[in-house]
Amino acid sequence: MSDTQSPPENQEFDVFLAHNSADKPEVRAIANQLKERGIKIWLDEEQIPPGRSFQDEIQKAIPLVKSAVIFIGLKGLGKWQTMEVRSLTTRCVEKDIPLIPVLLPGVTQLPEKLVFLKEYTWVEFSKNIDDIQALNNLVWGITASQSSPQQKPTELWFNGDRLQQFHKALLSAFPTTAKLKQMVRFKLDENLDAIAGGANHSEVVSNLIEWAEGEGRLEELLIAARKDNPGNPALQRFDEQMRSG
């Protein structure tokens, strides 16, 4: 039998993800990042079997979660999400569990109909869903533990030879400035010409790394590069070396 048919009595999921179906692609991407960090999520498409009542399954799930996230996109709340929000809010207040509003890219404030959520600290993915700081804050809200608090600052984590290795890996993964520009545009939401010029491609890559170091976004650059070219062996080896210490 599936978990939704025969749930255990104890809390099964770390977080319930309430969202408008119109925001499904963005929510799914954030959900995958949460799963990569070991967080067990409740997402409708993964937990509701075909032929089940959507509302009934949601009501069964709510008592099983340790926290809840309400995603708010440009199109506002969906029909089912409005019902979820009511149940989630009651559940969170009664059980004193975290309720985390999440503003998706393009949304800068809570809708008027959700004014009651202003008493909760929200998380804002202001530029894109690959925002590392926003994801760290979301994980913190879900787990009550700040992400990697003992981790070295980025400028110390990437130092000396490793910056040179990163340079070589980026050159391997993005052999032309056009390919690099596309990755920076779609994964970092930045204009490469504006942040890292150069007389040749190697110099552009060097200047991009220097820019990322100055902005505290080296790790974000590495993650973006890996997502854009996951099969590149040089970039993969470098990523594994960095994460193994």
Structure confidence by residue, pLDDT tens digits, 79-137: 666 666 777 778 778 878 888 999 999 998 887 777 778 788 899 998 788 888 899 89
Query: Does residue 1 fall inside a structural domain?
Result: no
Regions in the chain scoring below 70 on pLDDT: 1-11, 54, 79-84, 146-159, 243-245
Give me the pLDDT at residue 64, please. Answer: 84
Query: Does residue 149 fall inside a structural domain?
Result: no
Give me the pLDDT at residue 177, please. Answer: 96
Q: Which of 143, 176, 208 is the last residue of a domain?
A: 143
Same domain, 23 and 138: yes
Find the domain containing 204 and state its range.
154-240
Same domain, 44 and 94: yes
Give me the pLDDT at residue 151, please. Answer: 40
Q: What is the 3-state secondary structure (H, E, C) of the chain?
A: CCCCCCCCCCCCECEEEECCHHHHHHHHHHHHHHHHCCCCEECHHHHCCCCCCHHHHHHHHHHHECCEEEEEECCECCHHHHHHHHHHHHHHHHHCCCEEEEECCCCCCCCHHHHHHHHCCCEECCCCCCCHHHHHHHHHHHHCCCCCCCCCCHHHHCCCHHHHHHHHHHHHHCCCHHHHHHHHHHHCCCCHHHHCCCCCHHHHHHHHHHHHHHHCCHHHHHHHHHHHCCCCHHHHHHHHHHHCC
Query: Does residue 34 fall inside a structural domain?
Result: yes
Instruction: Judge if pTM exceeds 0.75.
Output: no
Number of domains in the chain: 2
Same domain, 190 and 114: no
Give me the pLDDT at residue 7, please. Answer: 40
Query: Does residue 2 fall inside a structural domain?
Result: no
